[in-house]
Amino acid sequence: MNETAGVTLTRKDFESDQEVRWCPGCGDYSILAALQSVFPEIGMQPHDTVFVSGIGCAARLPYYMNTYGVHSIHGRAPALATGVAMTQPDLHVWVIGGDGDMLSIGGNHLIHALRRNVNIKILMFNNQIYGLTKGQYSPTSEQGKVTKSTPFGSIDHPFNPISVAIGSEASFVARTHDMDRKHMMETFRRAHEHRGAAFVEVYQNCNVFNDGAFDAILKKDARPDMLIPLRHGEPIRFGADGAHGVAVNRFGEPYVCEVADVGEDGLLIHDEHRPDPTLAFSLSRLSTGPHMPTPIGVFRDVDRPVYEVEVAAQVDAAVERQGPGDLAAVLASGPTWTVP
């Protein structure tokens, strides 16, 4: 709980007066609830928080948060949020978008915001489909996906969003899902605490156009054997009785193993802070889609200079060096002559 002028903020303080209009049963509801629940806990203030989104079902979220918000244009939210952060580096800036918004039309802005390490928290709701435009395949849809635009199955090879983020020099990369409020809250808290760009992939069920896309790993009884929780400093281990784990082969590649085969000491100890991204990247390759054991949690969390802080520092340094700007002096700094 956090307090402003003696008032304790609650989840209600982050709910706007707008009626939430996703389809009944949509996974977006639980993501919104997780955000509104965790914000009071992590000390967020409505007035210094900005939600920026592109276009899509996911991108409607800012309307429902009682903060500042911009529902912008398709794919451009990471860029727009960069402008917000550059102007007011003290704001808390969250970016919301779908898999199409972030990885198709907005892929370029996503990778550049990540490499610049702008202090924005990017939540990508991955439902592996275009929801708002009524069900075309997306850049994360599995190959062969039959949709209205691909009646004979899609030919495209999909992106692995975590791999894209790590390949884009992201300093914080995590995955969570809409079936586990606690895990989402914890992941959002971690993203908030990270200084710099945070990329969080949220598996989200679109029950209208891609229902059950994640059932193989997210159904309650499937989870123990299909989700690989990543916990910093701990051996990577999963399965109802902890029988499975992740070890590293002689090429340095992680693979899913039986603990009985490699022994507890043979398991990979997860290190979010490894400066080199190679291992985190390899972990993201453990599963090629939500039908096999899939890591969730924080893949990577490293410290890097924050873009807008550096921008401001250059401005400060220039003032320090040259004094505050004097336009008359600048205009007269080239060759001048006087006509009497």
Ligand X SMILES: Cc1ncc(C[n+]2csc(CCOP(=O)(O)OP(=O)(O)O)c2C)c(N)n1
Give the interface with ligand X as residue ranges (CB under 6 A).
Answer: 55-58, 74, 97-101, 125, 127, 129-133, 138
Q: Which residue is nearest to ligand X (CB)?
A: 98
Is the Cβ of residue 61 or residue 217 nearer to ligand SF4 in the bound state? 61
To 5 degrees, how large is the angle CA 104–CA 121–CA 117? 85
Name the minimum Å distance from CB 136 to ligand X: 7
Please report which helix (H) or strand (E) contains residue 8, including its range: strand 7-8
Q: Is 303 left (phi over 0), alpha (psi -120 to 50) or beta?
A: beta
Secondary structure E strands in 132-191: 172-177
> Parallel, antiparallel, or unpaired for β 172-177 and 254-258?
unpaired
Q: Is the dihedral of CA 160, 165, 169, 175 positive or negative?
A: negative
Name the minimum Å distance from CB 206 to ligand X: 6
Closest by Cα among 192, 148, 183 to 30: 183
If one asks whether residue 208 binds ligand SF4 (CB under 6 A), the answer comes out as yes
Name the minimum Å distance from CB 303 to another protein: 23
Amino acid at position 319, single letter: V
What does 16 interact with, of ligand SF4, another protein, ligand X, none (CB < 5 to 8 A by kind)? another protein
Binding interface with Mg ion (CB under 5 A): 98-99, 127
Is the Cβ of residue 95 or residue 206 nearer to ligand SF4 in the bound state? 206
Is the Cβ of residue 62 or residue 98 nearer to ligand X in the bound state? 98
Name the minimum Å distance from CB 302 to ligand SF4: 32
Beta bridge partners of 216: none
Q: 52, 57, 79, 118: which one contacts ligand SF4 (CB under 6 A)?
A: 57
What does 318 interact with, of another protein, Mg ion, ligand X, none (CB < 5 to 8 A by kind)? another protein
Name the minimum Å distance from CB 78 to another protein: 8
If one asks whether residue 20 binds ligand SF4 (CB under 6 A), the answer comes out as no
Q: Which residue is nearest to Mg ion (CB)?
A: 98
Q: 78, 131, 254, 277: which one contacts ligand SF4 (CB under 6 A)?
A: 131
HEC assignment per residue over 271-309:
CCCCCCCHHHHHHHCCCCCCCCCEEEEEEEECCCCCHHH
Q: 51, 209, 238, 299: which one contacts ligand SF4 (CB under 6 A)?
A: 209
| Three-state DSSP class for residue 213 | coil
Q: 22, 39, 51, 214: which one contacts ligand SF4 (CB under 6 A)?
A: 22
By the 8 A CB rule, do 244 and 225 touch?
Answer: yes
Query: Measured between alpha carbons, how far is 259 from 240 in angstroms, rounded to an integer?
Result: 13
The residue ranges that bind ligand SF4 (CB under 6 A) are 22-23, 26, 28, 57, 127, 131, 206-209
